[in-house]
Amino acid sequence: MEELVVIGNGMVGHRLIEALHDRDSAHRWHITVVGEEPRTAYDRVALSSYFDGATAQDLSLGQVSGPHVDVHVNERATRIDRAHRTVTTTTGRVLPYDRLVLATGSTPFVPPIPGHDLPGCHVYRTIEDLDAITASAHGARTGVVIGGGLLGLEAANALRLLGLRAHVVELAPHLMPAQIDEGAGSLLRNLITDLGVHVHTGTASTAVHAADHGRVSHLTLGEDTRLDADLVVFSVGIRPRDDLARTAGLKVGERGGIVIDDTCTTSDPRIHAIGEAANHQGTVYGLIAPGNAMAEVVADQLLDGQATFTGADTSTKLKLLGVDVASFGDAHGRTPGALDVVVNDAAGGRYAKLVLSDDATTLLGGVLVGDATAYATLRPLVGSPLPDDPLTLITPEGTTALGADALPDSAQICSCNAVTKGELTQAIDHGNHDVPALKACTKAGTSCGSCVPMLKQVLAQAGIEQSKALCEHFPQSRAELVQTIRATGTTTFSALIRAHGTGHGCDICKPTVASILASLGSGHILEGEQATLQDTNDRYLANMQRNGTYSVVPRIPGGEVTPDKLIVIGEVARDFNLYTKITGGQRIDLFGARLEQLPHIWRRLVDAGFESGHAYGKSLRTVKSCVGTTWCRYGVQDSVGLAIRLEERYRGLRSPHKLKSAVSGCARECAEARGKDFGVIATDQGWNLYVGGNGGFTPRHADLLAGDLDEETLIRYIDRFLMFYVRTADRLQRTAPWIESLDGGLDHLREVIVHDRLGIADELEAAMDEHVASYTDEWAAVLADEDKLARFVSFANAPTTPDPTISFTTTRDQPVPRTPVNLGMPAHRPQEATR
């Protein structure tokens, strides 16, 4: 058995190991991997999701295991002895090799400006880097990212998610200069500025300055412009990790990178280089697709194949701060005689450019910003004759019409893994009849994921109807189950699964059916069998927090609250020693309540006139409001009064996903109504109703459904909209994707809600009236029922005993969980919080 040593356990190194392990059926190679990070390979493309709740385990690519694979982590290769064919590591380990692969990747470039190494200065490359940024963010207010490229904008979004005011400084005249042109860059700047990120282009950072305590205090831009900052992230490019190769005497490029030929072989025939460390024909690629292609070539070469690397697709599609950005082919039009076709809809937030051959018949490349729906179809067409008028291809109508059937079998659907339409079709012919099966068989869609919509189209073109089954226990979709339950009058999960499903149910169908039953008025969610179906939060009518405690959120309709009620909340927080925070939805969140304390807290709040705010449920959360005509000199309608009316009407409405709303008293939009599932904005004539907006991971503005409505008409339309959503949306589908999924989208919705095209308006309104009439406060109902109260104990055999694993420390005079996350907070003297 021959010895293969791979230096580097990043995504590209992992791809090589995976490919060789799968193909080496004769066990020709024993593989030894040396990786300097403290963990095995993880998805660096999705690194930013770490700030949005993903864990290191979620990002892990797994580990190729077997008797012929050894992986050493937290160990760095320090020397290559080409004469004796060995690699020495930091542990003193000496590894012999017959072939060596350098997958050492790259390092972030930090410009050598004064102060670049101060405490509070970071790079954005590894999970450890992200942990360090998180620690620095505690107590910080402003963060600056140096570099406005792909990774720089992701870093800016990370700072936003950490609660910092974010700035981006880019030397070029516009953002993402390597991928998009000036017109697209201008629109991208406007879109992300609207999201609260401050952009500085055409300027350089010349120094980082420290305050008296030694940490970053501000930057100098240009000659004398001051920019305050508590934290700096450098993201100005990468440099190939070629130091080992240089020391070993391998040929490197003039600007770095280990020189390789078309077989990914270096100047030493026994040594290969792949990924960001490699320099192929003067180019160092910084994307995953070329790295994967190199890995596949080396795997083939190691098994005596003839595969070669002759370049790679550098197309990119991603979402930056919620904004779609895509670039493919010759995006900058550098081909001699190239022609541009551009749609620049600044008002609509869309920019699209196609680059065509000089005779306008062949697609060479393109740029999409704001709406990248067409990317999945246009990118595979690069180098092919245009199937339609180019302008048509980048209008919304053309984007929808052009599908997989327009692509030849040679079109590359997945650029990250070089999978063609023909290969997908062949995989379908061999029985891979859904997206997960296609992913497993071909690896298409397993890297950046941008080609997944096209996988669905290829399946549809092959005549494969995609299952709408809720789960393995119910062949029906959620919407079909709603109709079944309504038609049969079913009131329990057990009866439904006996009559219309199979098995005993799972963690998908049980809470979904529980939500449907609650939406249709089947009693309190903790009544009888219903209680066993709920998710953790619904089961205890409170949100579980990271340390096993719960948060309590009383409803404060419209954000209006009396001083007496505020005093009660303060007293409850003081008496139970709860962390107190005002939320973005104009209410107060009380954190740190133990399970057995919940009823006692609810009793105090209910007696004062409060009720559950349903922060734990897939239901209406809040109806936010500005002060409207009551106080504001610009207000044209009573936004507070309407917000209270709406919140009291729709409170407790169980739905496929959470619902948020807002009412603004004028066009200045202080309540941010267009970022809600349904939002209302006052006009001189009445109210405008917007639907389908949301924040979260993919923010979206709501669209106007109807304008200048009187209050009664407005409420009728909202009744219809919400009930139609409750009855027809899929499980965990927010209103925005639900509207997009409707055949005809917003226009169809308007026909149903405003013009009653389906003739169901009266039925929808009656269903909402029934919900309003049957509403009861869930907290009060528990307090009135001894059986329900019995659920709220930490230990069944010791109901009054608190959970001993829960402990607290104090930060900013408030109790916070004593967990590892505290380690990144500013230094303070811990105080035990008596519970």
Q: What is the pLDDT of residue 834?
A: 30
776-799 mean pLDDT: 82
**Higher pLDDT among residues 240 and 696, named by residue:** 240
Q: What is the pLDDT of residue 435?
A: 75
Asked if residue 121 belongs to a known ligand binding site, the reply is no
Here the tokens at position 640 are: 């507070």
* pLDDT tens digits, one per residue of 223-280: 889 999 999 999 998 999 999 999 999 999 998 999 999 999 999 999 999 999 999 9
Q: Give dist(CA 610, CA 468) in Å, integer.
A: 41
Asked if residue 509 belongs to a known ligand binding site, the reply is no
Q: What is the pLDDT of residue 87?
A: 97
* pLDDT tens digits, one per residue of 176-188: 998 899 999 999 9
Q: Which residues contact 669 (CB under 8 A, 6 or more apart)?
A: 681
Q: Specify the 3-state DSSP secondary structure of 62.
A: coil
Q: What is the pLDDT of residue 822?
A: 43
pLDDT of residue 344 exceeding 80: yes
- pTM value is 0.56
Element (H, E) at 603: helix 598-607
Q: What is the pLDDT of residue 319?
A: 67
Residue 758 DSSP code: T
Asked if residue 666 belongs to a known ligand binding site, the reply is yes
Q: Give dist(CA 706, CA 677) in Å, integer.
A: 15
Q: pLDDT grade, residue 819 (50/70/90)?
A: low
Q: What is the pLDDT of residue 793?
A: 79
Closest residue by Cα to residue 792 from 572, 513, 549: 549
Q: Which domains does the chain have, with CATH numbers?
A: 2-107+240-302 (3.50.50.60), 110-236 (3.50.50.60), 315-402 (3.30.390.30), 478-534 (no CATH), 618-776 (3.30.413.10)
627-636 mean pLDDT: 90
85-106 mean pLDDT: 96
Q: Give dist(CA 321, CA 48) in Å, integer.
A: 11
- Residue 178 burial (C-beta neighbours within 10 Å; 0-12, 13-18, 19+): middle
* pLDDT tens digits, one per residue of 320-333: 776 888 898 899 99
Q: pLDDT grade, residue 626 (50/70/90)?
A: very high
Owner of token pair 């409707």: 742
Owner of token pair 């290829």: 458
Q: Which residues contact 385 (CB under 8 A, 6 or more apart)?
A: 361, 362
Adjacent-strand bridge partners of 525: none
Phi, psi of 164 (to 5 degrees): -95, 155
Q: pLDDT grade, residue 384 (50/70/90)?
A: confident
Residue 395 DSSP code: S
pLDDT of residue 543 exceeding 90: no
Phi, psi of 292 (to 5 degrees): -65, -40
Identify residue 410 by its one-letter amino acid code.
Answer: S
Other Cβ atoms within 10 Å of 466 Cβ, number = 11
32-52 mean pLDDT: 88
Span of 177-181, 380-384, 576-580 with lowest mean pLDDT: 380-384
For residues 43 and 61, the answer to whether their CB atoms sit within 8 Å is: yes
For residues 154 and 320, the answer to whether their CB atoms sit within 8 Å is: yes
Q: Specify the 3-state DSSP secondary structure of 336.
A: coil
Q: Specify the 3-state DSSP secondary structure of 308.
A: coil
Average pLDDT over the chain reads 87
Instruction: Tell me which range, 194-198, 473-477, 570-574, is most confidently predicted by mean pLDDT.
Output: 570-574
Here the tokens at position 90 are: 């930091």
* pLDDT tens digits, one per residue of 345-373: 887 788 999 999 999 889 999 999 988 87
Q: What is the pLDDT of residue 833?
A: 33
Q: Give dist(CA 153, CA 462) in Å, integer.
A: 39
Q: What is the pLDDT of residue 136?
A: 92
Q: Which residues contact 712 (CB under 8 A, 6 or more apart)?
A: none
pLDDT of residue 535 exceeding 80: no
* pLDDT tens digits, one per residue of 704-721: 999 899 999 999 999 999
Q: How far is CA 182 from CA 145, 179, 353, in A?
A: 20, 10, 11
Q: pLDDT grade, residue 470 (50/70/90)?
A: confident
pLDDT of residue 830 exceeding 80: no
* pLDDT tens digits, one per residue of 726-760: 999 988 889 988 988 787 788 889 999 999 989 99
